[in-house]
């Protein structure tokens, strides 16, 4: 119960970033705790319990979103380009843009970009971890992040121009 009380609210916030329905997010968190407690012997303390639980919550969120979508569009490796690492690390935006604007813009991204952007920016995962979570290659993760970032910049530029007029 102590572990549950310690991590429940934080995990609910993580789930709400992916699924926008509070009841569905609560269900996901409950399922994640059940899975964590039944698979406790698999926890190897290589990361904190919270990080391990967060991974379970995110995986469950993605499973729920995939089941809603029923069919994911697979990207073929030969269609992907390697991205420039310097460009990937530049996340500067206009100072007039708010956090709310950024969150709304992320929500408007196509799913294949949105999840990579959310995992990278909001959850702090690297490309190796994202590739494992989403079951894609690291090249796909980098490419989807780069393309998502380009779409995000474009959306935020439009938003900035609207605010100015």
The residue count for the chain? 165
Q: How confident is the model at residue 162 (pLDDT cuts 50, 70, 90)?
A: low
Over residues 3-27, the mean pLDDT reads: 91
Q: Is the pLDDT of residue 40 over 90?
A: no
User: Per mean pLDDT, which of 70-74, 82-86, 132-136 is the most reliable?
Assistant: 132-136
- Rounded to whole angstroms, the Cα distance separating 47 from 55 reads 11
With beta carbons less than 8 A apart as the criterion, state whether 96 and 114 touch: no
Burial class (CB in 10 A: 0-12, 13-18, 19+), 125: buried
Q: What is the pLDDT of residue 9?
A: 93
């Amino acid at each position: 119960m102590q572990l549950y009380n310690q991590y429940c609210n934080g995990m609910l916030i993580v789930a709400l970033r992916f699924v926008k329905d509070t009841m569905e997010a609560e269900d996901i968190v409950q399922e994640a705790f059940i899975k964590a407690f039944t698979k406790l012997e698999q926890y190897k303390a290589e990361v904190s319990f919270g990080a391990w639980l967060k991974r379970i919550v995110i995986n469950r969120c993605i499973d729920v979103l995939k089941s809603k979508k029923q069919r994911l569009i697979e990207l073929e490796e030969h269609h992907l380009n390697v991205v420039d690492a310097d460009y990937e690390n530049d996340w500067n935006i206009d100072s007039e843009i708010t956090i709310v604007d950024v969150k709304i813009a992320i929500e408007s991204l196509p799913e294949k970009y949105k999840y990579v952007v959310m995992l990278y920016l909001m959850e702090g995962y690297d490309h190796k971890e994202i590739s494992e979570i989403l079951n894609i290659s690291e090249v796909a993760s980098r490419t989807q992040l780069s393309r998502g970032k380009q779409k995000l910049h474009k959306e935020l530029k439009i938003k900035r121009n609207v605010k100015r007029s």
